[in-house]
Structure 1
Amino acid sequence: MAIDDTKPFIPVRIAVLTVSDTRTLGDDRSGDTLVQRIADAGHVLAARDILPDERDTIAAKLRDWIADDGIDAILSTGGTGLTGRDVTVEAHRDVYEKEIEAFATVFTIVSMNKIGTSAVQSRATGGVAGGTYLFALPGSPGACRDAWDEILAAQFDYRHRPCNFVEIMPRLDEHLRRK
């Protein structure tokens, strides 16, 4: 696992969605954490929004952003827990064409190293739809840092070897182009 400096850096256009019944842009620390890391890595913040914990509303926003050619990836934060209002995972799965099962596994491993067995309470997930990557992250700034720093930063860097998400982006929607 290393960066191949002979390859160019390719910025990814990433949207950030915070799912919360109470947060605003003024106090959205998790969203701010992701926005800062996206900028620090040289990527582009393509869109940002905050929505309440409503499955249909979240899924509709994800579909709108998937249809936007200016968005390559969507990171949501919040609503991945076990309580009754936590419906972000279900909304993501409503729109996935393919789930990236290993993302949840790797996120759990990262979390176990930070918070021990409390990691079992997270339902972080990832998937692909319409040529767009989607990741549902927990609502804490620490979990957003962990997901970005330990997984997504490398996978969204075209120079990362042995492989990364960026190099296969042009082929994510090839099934839609087949006749």
Structure 2
Amino acid sequence: MKKQPHPDVPGITVTCAIVTVSDTRTLETDKSGHLIQELLLGSRHIVGAYKIIPDEPAQIQAEIESFGQSVNVDVIIFNGGTGIAPRDTTYDAIEKLLEKSLPGFGELFRFLSYQEIGSRAIASRAVAGIYQNKLIFSLPGSSNAVRLGMEKLILPEITHLVSQMRK
């Protein structure tokens, strides 16, 4: 790992909400949602909410707006619905609400994905940004993509980004 230009403040715990966007997954079959939870808890963060919702733009935006009002959530991590199939609306719903975007997240995610899966990475519409002082990440629904995004991008930067928002 490269030296960070601005070291993280030690001991920051981040409270996260996990939202799986799927028309077919259940709490029992949601491997990606469980993986996000496991990785967050393993990094000593808190999972304040975990939901599965259908890939409906209005419902995705309602979840964002609801968490935006919560004082108990710092970060919302979505998974699923980031592709280009007709039912993949997560990116579109999230992108419309972002007050600030973090284009580097999607760019780096696709770069890292390209190294693993080749040119199919162009179909990923992973996105991140800020809405009402909440950090939002949206990952594809595959467990491999979730592990990549969490381990290589989100977990290494989550405390720094939340600290920046709190200034």
| Structure 1 length-normalised TM | 0.88
5 Å-filtered alignment, 1:14-93, equals 14-93=16-95
Check 1:26–1:9 CA distance in 2 against 1; reply closer, same or farther (3 A cut): same
Contact 2:101–2:128 (Cα < 8 Å) also in 1? yes
1:98 alignment partner in structure 2: 100
2:165 is equivalent to residue 166 of structure 1 = no
Structure number with greater Rg is: 1
Aligned partners of 1:15, 1:44: CA distance in 2, in Å?
9
| Aligned amino acid, residue 166 of structure 1 | V
SS of 1:76 mapped into structure 2: strand
Identity over aligned pairs, percent: 33
Deviation at residue 91 of structure 1 after TM alignment: 1.1
Aligned partners of 2:89, 2:38: CA distance in 1, in Å?
26
After superposition, give the CA deviation of every residue in 1:51-101 in whole Å (9 maximum; x if it has no partner).
001000110011101110100000000000000000000111122111111
2:151 is equivalent to residue 155 of structure 1 = no
Check 1:5–1:99 CA distance in 2 against 1; reply closer, same or farther (3 A cut): closer
Aligned partners of 2:35, 2:3: CA distance in 1, in Å?
24
Aligned partners of 2:127, 2:7: CA distance in 1, in Å?
30
Aligned partners of 1:6, 1:148: CA distance in 2, in Å?
17
Contact 2:135–2:162 (Cα < 8 Å) also in 1? no
| Aligned amino acid, residue 167 of structure 1 | S
Aligned partners of 1:57, 1:49: CA distance in 2, in Å?
12
Aligned partners of 2:164, 2:71: CA distance in 1, in Å?
16
| Aligned amino acid, residue 66 of structure 2 | D
Question: Cα RMSD over matched residues?
Answer: 1.6
The alignment covers a number of residue pairs equal to: 165
Aligned partners of 1:134, 1:51: CA distance in 2, in Å?
16
1:160 alignment partner in structure 2: none
Deviation at residue 140 of structure 1 after TM alignment: 0.3
Aligned partners of 2:137, 2:78: CA distance in 1, in Å?
6
Contact 2:128–2:135 (Cα < 8 Å) also in 1? yes
5 Å-filtered alignment, 1:127-166, equals 127-157=129-159, 164-166=160-162
Structure 2 regions of 5+ residues with no counterpart?
Answer: none
Aligned partners of 1:42, 1:11: CA distance in 2, in Å?
7
